[in-house]
Amino acid sequence: MNIDYHSIGLTTQQQLQLSMLSQRTGKSPSELLDELLAQCSAPIAKANDAGNVPIPTLYEVFVADGSIGMVHGGPTDMSTNPKYLEGFGQSGK
């Protein structure tokens, strides 16, 4: 497919959205479009031979979103210190 990328036009609304997102994130419009294309092409790369794109798991969505990872500044012994589990699972009565 031969595409003239210079002829791709954005509506006024799309230009405004891109501008606002650029200001809010501190990223250039090019950086934002690069990220968008990377997000869109990841599922395409995972398509099987029949062309079906698998539905990502919740875990995969959270990893891609950056919602799963290390928490900085919290207690280092959160998972091993029994004091953090005091009252866990008990009703408020």
Distance of CA 68 to CAs 22, 55, 64, 65, 89, Å?
Answer: 24, 19, 9, 8, 24
Q: What is the pLDDT of residues 17-67, one digit of tens each?
A: 888 988 988 989 888 888 887 777 665 556 556 666 677 788 888 888 777
Q: What is the largest CA-CA distance in the chain?
A: 69
Question: The tokens of 59 are what?
Answer: 């875990």
pTM of the model: 0.41
Question: The tokens of 5 are what?
Answer: 């990328």
4 pLDDT above the threshold of 80: no
